[in-house]
Every structure is written in structure tokens, then in C-alpha cells.
Amino acid sequence: MLSVRDKSLLLGIIKHCRKILEKTESLPREAFDQDEDVVEIVLF
């Protein structure tokens, strides 16, 4: 069973993954690859 802290951390990760998808799903792969800021943000 997850602790309250672990559950909170996982929910935060899911929230940020959803934001990444929202911001990048319409971005063509070439544009993504060329935008170092976006790549760095996603990797972080």
C-alpha cells in the first residue's frame, strides 16, 4: 500500500505528464526535436 506522501508524488507526476501531453501532442516531431527548451522541459 502506498503512503500518503508516495500517492501525492505519483499524482503530481501524472498531472505533469498530462500537461506535457497537452503542450506537445500537436507539435510536429521535427519542431519538438529542434526546440531545445521543450526537449529539456519534457526530460526534466
Which percentage of the chain shows pLDDT scores above 70?
A: 100
First CA to last CA distance, the chain: 27
pLDDT single digits (tens) 2-15: 999 999 999 999 99
For position 44, what pLDDT does the model report? 86
pLDDT of 24 strictly over 90: yes
SS3 state of residue 12 = helix
* Number of structural domains the chain divides into: 1
Range of the domain at 15: 4-43
pLDDT single digits (tens) 25-43: 999 999 999 999 999 989 9
| Cα→Cα distances 19→3, 30, 34, 41, Å | 25, 20, 20, 11
Report the chain's C-alpha Rg in angstroms: 14
Mean pLDDT of 17-25: 94
